[in-house]
Amino acid sequence: MPSSNVYSKRRQNLINQMGKGVAILKGAPEQIRTNDTEYPYRQDSDFFYLTGYTEPGAACIINPNDKDNPFTMFVLPQDPKKEVWTGWRLSFEDTATHFGADQALDIGEFESNALEAMKISSKVYTNLSHDKVHQYKMLDLVGEVRKVVQRTGGGPEGLESVGSLTHVMRLFKDEHELGLMQKAADISADAHSKAMQACKPDMYEYQLQAILESHFVHEGGAGPAYTSIVGGGDNATVLHYIKNRDKIKDGDMVLIDAAAEYDMYAADITRTFPANGKFSDAQRAIYEVVLKAQKAVIDASKPGVTFKELHDMDLRLLVEGMIEIGLLSGTADEIIENESYQEYFMHKTGHWLGLDVHDMGNYMADGESIVMKPGMVFTVEPGIYVNSKSKAPEKYRGIGIRIEDDILITETGNKNLTAAVPKEIVDIEALMNRD
């Protein structure tokens, strides 16, 4: 299917749910990094999901109540003086053709068109993400329209997040998305294997980061899907350690949580391995607890199971394992009840994955945990983190371990998209000690 059909199918799906509503969406604003230079541009995920448009300065109106132009794109006009700096822009006509729009107009006409679209619609859906200026503008316009239609009737009754519709749609990945997600996963998996094989004591954390991120870009990825975490020793026990500046010591465990974004889709992989290529007894003891829990949760991931059931299974296995190796004392029931496990395991088992690394979509609905269905993709990432200040037995201090894979729910069970990176102890040791 040509990719523009992918987006028009999604818009049709949205229209079917909007009734007499209209979707008025703005692309992500550019973000300044220093003075007059910007961060690399990344389109708003909902805007991209419905249009396929990746350039800055855009907006769109999806309006089934407008029979002549149900889909209008708004883009930056052609301007040779500016294009010399930032690249060629498509003409309005070519934009409309390429993105399957009924018309494309100058972005300067967005607000007046939005106002007209609101007059003939019963509800306004918009992207209520991080762009506060856009949110206030939409509220402003709804208020203005309400005044205009006061005597004639009609007009929107309110402003709603388009995410209330798109985030449910985005939970279920179509074939097109799964192809891109597998590619992001493959690039990321290869990068992890390369970094694992290259690691030696006395390397710097940023040198492993460079190996990973160079591979992401070399293989056509946009770069990291999130800020790479490369932590040796105690740094591996800091959940969001992103400095990556320290020297890795002989005897350290190294935790790498890094993955590529490819054509807007994220992977998310963590592997943990001994810097010197050989697990010590203490490292092996904790690692085996995490690995056993991770594999059990993946095995249990199939249609019908809930996110909560997976997390509860993960937690129980981690707690039982920590009791067995002497990290916790008491019964598993007590420890789960009083939450004392949180000293070593303080996050959830996983999250949705897709256009955003922590992808949109609820984990609960009507007070119940979401039930897994085919097409959903999420991470399974148990961990145990024993920092150097902990009261744990000395041998365990300064060891942080997480193992993370990306799991697609299929009709019959699941597919591990990131299975290619070794995680069995024998396989890690074999890879690290290969010449």
For residues 180 and 262, the answer to whether their CB atoms sit within 8 Å is: yes
Provide the mask over 233-262, with x wherever binding to ligand GLY is found by CB under 6 A and - wherever it is not. ------------------------x-----
Per the annotation, the verdict on 240 as an active-site residue is: yes
Backbone angles phi, psi at 356, to 5 degrees: -100, 145
Q: Which of 358, 394, 424, 427 is catalytic?
A: 358
Which one among 44, 213, 381, 405 touches ligand GLY, defined by CB under 6 A? 381
252 binds, among Mn ion, ligand GLY, none (CB under 5 to 8 A by kind): none
Q: Count residues near Mn ion (CB under 5 A).
A: 5
Q: Shortest approach of ligand GLY to residue 227 CB, angstroms? A: 8
Binding of Mn ion by 261 (CB under 5 A): no
Sites for Mn ion among residues 375-414 (CB under 5 A) = 379, 404
User: In sequence order, what E strands does 213-293 have?
Assistant: 223-224, 229-232, 253-257, 260-262, 265-266, 270-274
Q: Which is nearer to ligand GLY, 322 or 357 (CB)?
A: 357
What tokens appear for 130 in the block? 């991080």
Q: Shortest approach of ligand GLY to residue 268 CB, angstroms? A: 5
Q: Shortest approach of ligand GLY to residue 270 CB, angstroms? A: 6
Per the annotation, the verdict on 381 as an active-site residue is: yes
Binding of ligand GLY by 268 (CB under 6 A): yes
What tokens appear for 320 in the block? 């039982």
Report the distance separating Cα 190 and Cα 216, nearest Å: 9
Distance of CA 103 to the CA centre of its chain: 32
Q: Which is nearer to Mn ion, 44 or 404 (CB)?
A: 404
Q: Which is nearer to ligand GLY, 100 or 224 (CB)?
A: 224
Q: Shortest approach of ligand GLY to residue 404 CB, angstroms? A: 6
Q: Which of 351, 356, 359, 396 is catalytic?
A: 351
Q: Which is nearer to ligand GLY, 5 or 227 (CB)?
A: 227
Sites for Mn ion among residues 240-259 (CB under 5 A) = 257
Binding of ligand GLY by 314 (CB under 6 A): no
End-to-end CA distance of the chain: 45
307 Cβ contact list (under 8 Å, min separation 6):
349, 350, 363, 369, 370, 372, 378
Q: Minimal CA–CA distance to 171: which of 334, 409, 333?
A: 409
Report the distance separating Cα 59 and Cα 117, nearest Å: 13
Provide the mask over 398-417, with x wherever binding to ligand GLY is found by CB under 6 A and - wherever it is not. ------x-------------
Per the annotation, the verdict on 268 as an active-site residue is: yes
Q: Angle at CA 344, nearest 5°, toward 339 and 345?
A: 70
378 in helix, strand or coil? strand
Q: Shortest approach of ligand GLY to residue 150 CB, angstroms? A: 48
59 Cβ contact list (under 8 Å, min separation 6):
24, 25, 26, 27, 73, 74, 107, 110, 114
Binding of ligand GLY by 226 (CB under 6 A): yes
For residues 341 and 328, the answer to whether their CB atoms sit within 8 Å is: yes
Per the annotation, the verdict on 36 as an active-site residue is: yes
226 binds, among Mn ion, ligand GLY, none (CB under 5 to 8 A by kind): ligand GLY
Helix (H) / strand (E) element for 67: namely none
Per the annotation, the verdict on 257 as an active-site residue is: yes
Q: Shortest approach of ligand GLY to residue 351 CB, angstroms? A: 6
271 in helix, strand or coil? strand
Provide the mask over 324-353, with x wherever binding to ligand GLY is found by CB under 6 A and - wherever it is not. ---------------------------x--
Residue with tokens 């970094």, as numbered in its chain: 195
Which one among 205, 213, 261, 268 touches Mn ion, defined by CB under 5 A? 268
259: left (phi over 0), alpha (psi -120 to 50) or beta: beta
104: left (phi over 0), alpha (psi -120 to 50) or beta: beta
Q: Which is nearer to ligand GLY, 267 or 286 (CB)?
A: 267
Q: Minimal CA–CA distance to 105: which of 202, 113, 350?
A: 113
Query: Contacts by 430-434 with C-beta closer than 8 Å and gap 24+?
Result: 431/193, 431/196, 431/197, 432/196, 432/197, 432/199, 432/273, 432/274, 432/277, 433/277, 433/278, 434/197
Q: Which of 68, 151, 175, 240 is catalytic?
A: 240
Q: Which is nearer to Mn ion, 63 or 349 (CB)?
A: 349
234 binds, among ligand GLY, Mn ion, none (CB under 5 to 8 A by kind): none
Q: Shortest approach of Mn ion to residue 349 CB, angstroms? A: 10
Q: Shortest approach of ligand GLY to residue 61 CB, angstroms? A: 34
Q: Tell me which residues touch ligand GLY (CB under 6 A).
A: 226, 257, 268, 351, 357, 381, 404
- Catalytic positions are 36, 240, 257, 268, 347, 351, 358, 381, 385, 402, 404
